[in-house]
Amino acid sequence: MKYAPSFVAAALLALLSHPLAVAASTSDDGSKPHKPCTIRSPSTDRFFDLNSIRVALPAADESTSTSGGSSDSDDTKVESWHARGYDYGANFTLNFCGPVVESLEDVVGVDENRWRNVSAFYEKGGHTYSIGQQNSELVFRGRKLVLNYTDGSPCEAGGEERKRELAPTPLDPRELYGSDGNKSKGDGGEHGEDGYDRPEGDGYGKPKQLASGKRRKNTIISLLCEKDPLAPQAAVSFVGASPDECTYFFESRSGAACGGIEKEIQTLGPGGVFGVIVLVAVIVYLVGGCVYQRNVMHQRGWRQLPNYGFWAGIVFFLRDVVIILTSSCARLIPQRRGYSRVASSINGRGRGRGNHSDDENRLIDQLDEEWDD
C-alpha cells in the first residue's frame, strides 16, 4: 500500500506527456512538408494549389469500380490539356505539375526511360517532340504565377526548317575600291568577302552553333485567375515560341490560379480532439487532487486520491453487485433430483449397495414364511 503514490505519480506523468507531445507536433509548422504543386504568394500571402487541375489517370481498382457507367466517371478527365498552335503548324498537349496521361513513344532526343515524365509535347511531321519534363515547383515572378518545364527535346530537332524560314537573306558582297583605284571585292582573308570584320561561324546570315550542341526545348506557362463560375476548369492558350524553337510560351486561365486560404489537414478528428480535452481535464483533476490531499489534508496511500471515499464506495458497490449476480446465476442452474446411484470407490468402499440387497431378500423371505403360516 505504501508504494501506491509512486505508481500513481508515474501513471500521471505518462498520461500528461501524451497530450503535450501531440500539442508539440501540431504546433511545429517548420517541420511540415511542402505539398507539391502549391505555393504561397510572397506579396499577398495567398495560397495557390494547382493539384485540382492536374490530370491523373484513376487507379486500376477505381477504374474497374466505375466501369459500370456511374455518373462520377463522366466528370473524370481522361486526357491532358490541349492548346491549338494556329500558325505554328502543330497542336500542343500538356499537363500541370505532372506528366501527360497519354502514352508516348519515340520522343525525339529523349531517353526511353524518361518518356513517362514528359509534361508537354507536340507532334509534327510524324515525330513527337518534348518541350519539357515534369516539374511540380511553382514560382512567382513579381505578381505573376509561373510554371516552368525544361529539358525537352533538342532545339535543333524539328526546327531546322523553321530556322531557315526565319533566317535573313544573305546580301551581295559590297564592291570596294582598293588603294589602286580599281573596283574589287574583299580579299576573303580575315575580313571576309565584303571586307568587314565578322566572327567565325557557319557563314553569313547563319548563327554560330553552340559548342555543346545540347540546347533543349523548355516551356513557360503563365497562370492567370479566372473568376467566371461558368468557365471551364482550365483553358490553355499558346502564345508563341522563340525563333530558335527552344522556348514555348503558354497562358492558362483557371480558378485554381486565384489563390485562397490554405486548408490545414488535421491529424485528429472531432472525436480525437474531444478525447484529448477530456484526458487533459482528468489529468488536471487527478494531479490537483493528489497535491491537495497530500499537502493540505496530509493523506497517504490511496487516500490521497481526490474524493477517495466516493470512488471507494463505487468500487465496493460494484463488488457487491458482482457477488449478487454470481449467486443469482448459481441458483438458476438446474440440479439433478430423485434417486442417484452412488459410484463405487476403490478399497471396497462401494459395497453398501450389495449388503442392502441381501437384507431386502432376507426380509422378503421372512414375510413369505409368515404368510404361509
Kindly state whether residues 186 and 298 are assigned to the same domain.
Answer: no
* 271 shares a domain with 255: no
Whether 153 and 226 share a structural domain: yes
Q: Please give the model's pTM, rounded to 2 decimal places.
A: 0.53
Whether 315 has a pLDDT exceeding 50, the answer reads: yes
Same domain, 291 and 173: no
On whether residue 345 sits in a domain, the answer given is: no
Q: Which domain holds residue 180?
A: 168-205
Q: 217 with 143, same domain?
A: yes
Query: How far is the CA of 186 from the CAs of 105, 206, 260, in angstroms?
Result: 52, 20, 67
- Domain with 125 in it: what CATH number? 2.70.130.10
Q: Are the CB atoms for 282 and 297 separated by under 8 Å?
A: no
Number of domains in the chain: 3
- Please indicate, yes or no, whether residues 101 and 190 belong to a single structural domain of this protein: no
Whether residue 198 is found in the same domain as residue 318: no
The mean pLDDT value for 113-135 works out to 93
CA dihedral 282, 287, 292, 298 (to 10 degrees): 120
- Assess whether 158 and 181 both reside in one domain: no
Confidence of residue 261 (pLDDT cuts 50, 70, 90): confident
Is there a single domain that holds both residue 177 and residue 316? no
Which pLDDT tens digit goes with each residue over 64-122? 444 444 444 445 678 899 999 998 989 999 999 999 999 999 999 999 999 999 999 99
Same domain, 192 and 247: no
Residue 202 pLDDT exceeds 50: no
Contact assessment for residue 37 and residue 97, using Cβ atoms and an 8 Å cutoff:
yes
Which of 165-179, 188-202, 233-247 tops mean pLDDT? 233-247
Tell me if 117 sits within 8 A of 178, measured CB to CB: no
Q: Is residue 316 part of a domain?
A: yes
What pLDDT score does 354 carry? 56
Position 141, amino acid: R
Please check whether residue 344 lies inside any domain of the structure.
Answer: no
Residues 252 and 137 in one domain: yes
144/219 same-domain check: yes
